């Protein structure tokens, strides 16, 4: 039986990274956010943030739009280009609708104009931290699923690709030049290695990995959603067998 953790086990608490060149704003935000029991790191420039930040650290970014040398918008573009998906909350004393739309379209969680309501910022931070938590958990179980799929032999992977297309054992045997019994044996090995006991489970793992694109629009069964919760046996792990 294959047990895959749906929650990323980490002792590292999330941090809120504040980047603003105004000393007073940084200090006020640090006091406000720490009052909620959340770890805060403050920076007066984008470069200072980049020199210290590690993408492995969970958290979110509270980012001023206008900063010396490198702007908040340029940082957002830099992070996106490098595949760093830290949730961003923009703050600005010189914002406009076009700027807000631009940042939100690029994936920002929120855009707040100074002076903003403290509770509004705290709500946005809680939302951003939850987005980051879910994103990291999703990546965690995708990695585990991929690891399971990597245990398959080349022939088993070939059989799996045909199975998730909804093809019967006899059809697969004909296409691969194998006996039906051999295909059935490969299928049993695949089920055992992946810890599943149904075609729906196989399709779910294939969808979750993002490595298989052969699944047709119509299948002789209903594939599960791309989410581990339907298989959850408890708050920490799920089993597909």
pLDDT tens, 150-168?
A: 999 999 999 999 988 889 9
Mean pLDDT of 222-236: 39
Q: What is the C-alpha to C-alpha distance for residues 70 and 43, in angstroms, rounded to an integer?
A: 13
Q: Is the pLDDT reported for residue 239 higher than 50?
A: no
Identify the structural domains of the chain with CATH numbers, from first to last.
3-139 (3.40.50.2300), 151-239 (1.10.10.10)
Mean pLDDT of 183-195: 91
Q: What are phi and psi of 116, to 5 degrees?
A: -115, 160
3-state secondary structure of 194: helix
Q: What is the pLDDT of residue 10?
A: 57
3-state secondary structure of 56: coil
Q: What is the pLDDT of residue 218?
A: 58
* N residues, the chain: 241
Strand segments, DSSP code E, in the chain are 3-5, 15-19, 39-43, 59-64, 88-92, 110-113, 237-239
Q: Is the pLDDT reported for residue 240 higher than 50?
A: no
Mean pLDDT of 41-61: 96
Could you tell me if 18 and 64 are in contact, meaning their C-beta atoms sit under 8 angstroms apart? no
């Amino acid at each position: 039986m294959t047990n895959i953790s749906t929650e990323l086990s980490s002792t590292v608490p999330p941090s809120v990274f504040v980047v603003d060149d105004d000393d007073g704003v940084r200090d006020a935000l640090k006091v406000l956010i720490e009052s909620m029991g959340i770890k805060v790191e403050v920076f007066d420039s984008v470069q200072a943030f980049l020199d210290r930040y590690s993408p492995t650290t969970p958290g979110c970014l509270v980012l001023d739009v206008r900063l010396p040398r490198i702007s908040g918008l340029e940082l957002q573009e830099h992070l996106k280009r490098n595949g760093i998906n830290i949730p961003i909350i923009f703050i600005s004393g010189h914002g406009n609708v076009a700027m807000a739309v631009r940042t939100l379209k690029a994936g920002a969680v929120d855009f707040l104009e100074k002076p903003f309501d403290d509770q509004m910022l705290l709500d946005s931070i809680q939302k951003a931290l939850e987005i980051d938590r879910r994103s990291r958990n999703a990546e965690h179980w995708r990695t585990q699923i991929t690891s399971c799929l990597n245990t398959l032999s080349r022939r088993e992977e070939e059989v799996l690709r045909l199975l998730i297309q909804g093809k019967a054992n006899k059809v697969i045997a004909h296409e691969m030049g194998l006996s039906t019994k051999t295909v059935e044996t490969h299928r049993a090995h695949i089920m055992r290695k992946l810890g599943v006991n149904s075609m729906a489970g196989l399709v779910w793992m294939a969808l979750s990995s993002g490595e298989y694109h052969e699944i047709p629009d119509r299948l002789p069964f209903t594939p599960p959603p791309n989410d581990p919760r339907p298989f959850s046996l408890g708050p920490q792990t799920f089993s597909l067998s």
